Structure 1
Amino acid sequence: MIERLQFPRALFIGVAFTVSILTACGGGGGSTENGSATSAGPSSSPVASPSPSSAPSSNISPTSPSAANAPTSSGSTTASTPVTSTAAQNFQAVTVEPNAYGFANLLMTSVTVCVPGSAICQTVDNVLLDTGSYGLRLFAPALSINLPQVASGQNALATCAAFGSGTTWGTVRTADIRLAGEYAPSTSVQLIADPAYPSVPTSCSNQGFQNIASPAVIGANGILGVGLQSADCPGCATHAYNVYYECSGSGCSPTTAPINAQVTNPVSNFAVDNNGVVVQLPSIPSSGQPSATGTIVFGIGTQENNSLGTARIFTTDPTQNTFSAQYKGTTYNYAFIDSGSNGLFFDDASIAQCSGGSAFFCPPAPLSLSAVVEGLNGSSAPVAFQVSNAETMLASGANAMNNYAALQTGMFDLGLPFFYGRKVYTAIRGRPTPGGTGPYFAF
């Protein structure tokens, strides 16, 4: 029997064109048994890419990674020696700040990548931290060092990743990755919009409503996927879904990709703190605030600063990495926790939406709502949240918001607003932790 392609990616991002015109990104990642894309839930939200007239232009010089020698504005190129994980260096800062592309509520961090086994390194800033996907994906213009390509036979390996906000297309490269004091050697990453193979196959572009080809589309220099999986597409090791492609001078065609060649969650390649992550953000007022700073801690129960404590564990479906949520009498089996989604995305057409055909919610007064989430292990808990007027908050200068929400049918996406005031644990599938073997979320 053909193995079902597993582990769809989330990442729903809504962008504010102006304070009065908002849009939410719908659709979702995933594939059927034959590799065709499926929606993470019925998509009825209006979709659009950032408006060129209202979003500031990129401040990144569009240089080829193979040709550029000077660092771009995304980071710096340095010469240093790779280091291994040490006990006191398993955490680093994550921030929510004003975004040059007009996006709000994006959780960013920095990533250092090196040519494998060398001292040629570059730190890339403003990388979106995403607990709903797996692996590091950087835009080619943001990278000024030349990472070696991963081969597929005698040709190059490329990949198409379907997200809620569109698809990313680019080659697979190998890098040594550093996060805080952690070190992930020889890890496969995606170089998005690699000029070596710029043409997006139709079988890839058909999986999403837009091609995520530049930082302006998602408001970040890349995506750091630290979700519930280690490998990006286990089923692709034996079946040629429309996820991995073999590329030559004559074009690109779907192919299989062994696990060790696939884009990989770098946390799973750490020496010790390799079973998951903890994301902690401060509490913020309901009116929002201009910025917020928190922490990502690598590992769960591996050091004193990442113990589970009293956190409740919610195991997830091993084929979808989801649990269930009950909201206003309806059960949504496609529910998940995702720092890469900049809002709460859920199905409630009774809430007033913002002007201009936006899917974002703009109720006349703040709403106090609740849902009940339940893991496959039967663990359940109520989740209280608020929904406020997105236009009003953005007009006040808020960028960090715990009540920023939009309509998305057929699912319940606990995006970044859920993380404020919490420690949220994401345990990698198959990795042991003091709370059991992943995959699970805990908070």
Structure 2
Amino acid sequence: MLSSNGKLPRWLASFGLAAAVVLVAGCGGGSGTTTSSGSSTNSTGGAVLAAGSPVSSLPATLASNQVAVTVAGGFENAPNIPTVSVTVCEPGTSRCQTINNVQVDTASTGLRLTLDALNYTMQTALPVEVESVSGKPIAECSGFADGKSWGSVRTADVTIGGETASSVPIQVMGDLPQSAAAGTSNGCAIGTLNDTSSAIAAHGILGIAAAKYDCGIVCQTPSSGVYAGCTGSGSSTSCTDLAVLEVQQVTNPVRKFATDNTGVILNMPAVTSSGSTSATGFLTFGIGTESNNVLPASGIQKLTTDHYGNVQSASLSGTSVSGAFFDTGSNGLFFADSTLPSCKGATGFYCPTSTVSRTPSVTGFNGTSVSIGLSIANALSVFEDGGFAYDNVGGPFTLGSFDFGMPFFYGRTVYVNYDPSNDGSARVATSAYVAF
């Protein structure tokens, strides 16, 4: 998920997701025609292979600092959407709701839930954050590469696996009228908002990136255009620019765990070249805090990043790009490559006539460079085989970076270590790192 507040755009509610949903719903499964040999052809006339069986890397028993991560049909039958279950409670009470199909996003910050995912009790029980100086209820216009989401900032106790964070500012998307949005950027006042479960193909987004706050010091001035203070209610609600202190901004819940708050580790199983019908892995909280989250002393590459999780530099086929990041919130590998044709009718993905290889190189601020071998298959063909977990789909990206989306994570254990500072700048080295 590509977050616009990290200087490099970064909140990406599954970049290319709209195209992928259309492909799965409109071309998947029953759109192939069965031949006498039992194989099938896709809508472009190419062969369609059946997706592989479900795969899993789950241990026999999950520890208290672990939670299962599932890529399957989920809420909207969209590919490569890793999800977990999250429990939110009215702070300090046992009034709670467990919400399934919340997307795991290693490249945005904060928990964001859709209003339609909350039951009536929780819609009203979670208190709205009130800005400490103005006394106004806080709302947020959060930016996505393919749109915006608009909603109030609430406070909740958040439990994931066996870990709990108390009084966490979260966003509830879709609980305010669009007509109330205003301010410097006016970004949420017009256009179609991504603030429903159908729009983001999940019941919410769990942003667990390196940064603690979603926009930090930038949003402590009203001109950021991100946060707003609201007056009125219902259709008469009106909101204007607001400066919000970091402690009231939408926050990475993992950073507020009492322990195991130094980072996350995602372990996902490998999938076949034709994908898998589902893939189940697990997320471990903390790095270096328990016996199950120790960084290996050898056999692993560690790339230090800036405050937002961006590596220092990257290149593809000898051509430098502005940077790179590792992002479970993107459902493909997204990068600019003029030699790869886009899918007809689905410009969010590449459709080469046969699978091609690419080997981008990434360099951390610590000087460590890694070449990463990747494959890009015809997205139309693979999306039609009945699966949901694919390690070889990608598409064009015009923002000048290399987005190592969900396909990168299959068959790997990836460590995302957090910057302990509350603030930081893009392109400036920190002790945060990604390792694999």
Amino acid at match of 1:107: P
The 8 Å contact of residues 136 and 190 in structure 1, kept in 2 or not, is answered as yes
> What is the CA deviation profile of residues 188-231 of structure 1, one whole-angstrom value per residue up to 9, with x for unaligned ones?
00010114776333724269974112111110000000001111
Distance 1:167 1:389 in 2: 29
Q: Indicate whether 1:112 and 2:87 are aligned.
A: yes
Identity of aligned residues (%): 39
Aligned equivalent of 2:231: 248
Structure 1 Cα separation of the partners of residues 189 and 413 of structure 2: 33
Summarize the Cα distance change of 1:243–1:19 in structure 2 as closer, same or farther, 3 Å threshold. closer
What is the CA deviation profile of residues 277-325 of structure 1, one whole-angstrom value per residue up to 9, with x for unaligned ones?
Answer: 0011001111101110000000011111111113321112336734322
Q: Counterpart in 2 of 1:375?
A: 364
Residue aligning to 2:290: 303
Q: Map of 1:229-244 to 2, 5 A cutoff?
A: 229-236=211-218, 238-240=220-222, 241-244=224-227
The answer as to whether partners of 1:288 and 1:400 remain within 8 angstroms in 2 is: yes
Equivalent positions of 1:380-419 (< 5 A) are 380-409=369-398, 410-419=400-409
Q: Which amino acid aligns with 1:157?
A: I
2:271 aligned partner: 284
Q: How far 1:175 moved relative to its partner?
A: 0.3
- 2:412 maps to which residue? 422
Instruction: Describe how 1:157-306 pairs up with structure 2 within 5 A.
Output: 157-195=138-176, 199-201=180-182, 203-205=185-187, 210-236=192-218, 238-240=220-222, 241-249=224-232, 251-306=238-293
Letter in 2 for 1:238: Q
Evaluate the alpha carbon distance shift between residue 210 and residue 324 of structure 1 in structure 2; reply closer, same or farther with a 3 A threshold.
Answer: farther
Q: In structure 2, how many angstroms separate the alpha carbons of the residues matched to 1:96 and 1:357?
A: 22
TM-score when normalising by structure 2: 0.80
Tell me if the contact between 1:323 and 1:374 (Cα under 8 Å) persists in the aligned partners.
Answer: yes
The answer for the alignment partner of 1:439 in structure 2 is 432
Please say if residues 94 and 293 of structure 1, whose CA atoms lie closer than 8 Å, have aligned partners that are also in contact: yes
CA distance in 1, matches of 2:206, 2:307: 21
* Letter aligned with residue 224 of structure 1: L
* TM-score of the superposed pair, with normalisation by structure 1: 0.79
Quick one: distance in 2 between partners of 1:186 and 1:357? 42
What is the aligned-residue RMSD (CA, Å)? 2.5
Instruction: Name the counterpart of 1:354.
Output: 343
Distance in 2 (CA, whole Å) between partners of 1:200 and 1:420 is: 39
Q: In 2, distance between residues paired with 1:305 and 1:214?
A: 36
By percentage of residues, which structure has more helix?
Answer: 2
In structure 2, how many angstroms separate the alpha carbons of the residues matched to 1:319 and 1:339?
Answer: 14
Whole-angstrom CA distance in 1 between matches of 2:63 and 2:346? 49
1:167, 1:208 within 8 Å by CA — same for their partners in 2? no
- Residue 342 of structure 1: how far off its partner (Å): 0.4
Cα offsets for 1:248-272 (capped at 9, x unmatched): 1261111111111110000000111
Count of paired positions = 373
Determine the C-alpha separation between the residues in 2 that align with 1:365 and 1:319: 35
Return the alpha-carbon distance in structure 2 between the equivalents of residues 213 and 107 of structure 1.
Answer: 19
- CA distance change for structure 1 residues 376 and 198 in 2, over 3 Å: closer, same or farther? same
Find out whether 1:18 has 2:23 as its counterpart.
yes
Equivalent position SS for 1:174: strand
C-alpha separation in 1, matches of 2:364 and 2:303 = 4
Residue range with higher mean Cα deviation, 354-363 or 170-179: 354-363
Structure 2 equivalent of residue 42 of structure 1: none
Greater CA drift, 304-313 or 258-267? 304-313
Mark the runs of 5 or more structure 1 residues left unpaired by the alignment: 23-86
The alpha-carbon deviation at position 236 of structure 1 amounts to 3.9
**Structure 2 unaligned residues grouped into runs of 5+:** 28-61, 423-428
CA contact (8 A) 2:417 2:432 kept: yes
Q: CA deviation at 1:357?
A: 5.1
